[in-house]
Amino acid sequence: MSTQETIDYNALDNTFAGQLIQAGFIAALVAAPGVTHRPALARTLLAAANVGAVALFNAFDEDPRNDLTAVIDAEQDELESVTMSWGVLAALGAGAAAACAAAAKTVDAVTAGLKKAGVGKPYALAGCAAGAAYVVAKQLRT
């Protein structure tokens, strides 16, 4: 039986402050259609800012166990590991794009129901709920 510790690949998740930063990004992503006439652009810029924040936090993370490239390099020769790394990143990017599209459709459906129920700012309410749910889930996990 293995008691191997789970490796967290996102240093932003390691602290409560980091979790609040992530919750802010989630809330802003969900609330974007209620704030701008170009929600796709806003969400793209927010996602890029989130990726930048994760990269910045990971730049200061010194745990070698969570360096995906180093893990792959240890198991394969360098040419294969670079190909594998880019393949993994491309697959993750495609999966993230599909998940974001599905989430946007779900948010639109939920906010349409909230608007029908008389909620004045349904996207803001949904954003706050999504951000809070993220924080609660992260706190329950730890």
Which amino acid appears at position 101 of this protein? A
> 22 phi and psi, to 5 degrees?
-60, -40
Q: Could you tell me if 22 and 134 are in contact, meaning their C-beta atoms sit under 8 angstroms apart?
A: yes
Distance, CA of 3 to CA of 139 (rounded, Å): 22
Mean pLDDT by 10 residues, the chain (142 residues): 55 78 93 91 91 79 59 56 78 89 90 94 95 92 71
**CA gyration radius for the chain?**
18
Task: Quote the pTM value.
Answer: 0.70
DSSP state of 76: S
Q: What is the pLDDT, as a whole number, of residue 66?
A: 59
User: Please, which contacts does 53-57 make with residues 24 or more away whose CB atoms are closer than 8 Å?
Assistant: 53/12, 53/21, 53/25, 54/10, 54/11, 54/12, 57/10, 57/11, 57/12, 57/18
DSSP state of 34: G
Q: What is the pLDDT, as a whole number, of residue 42?
A: 93
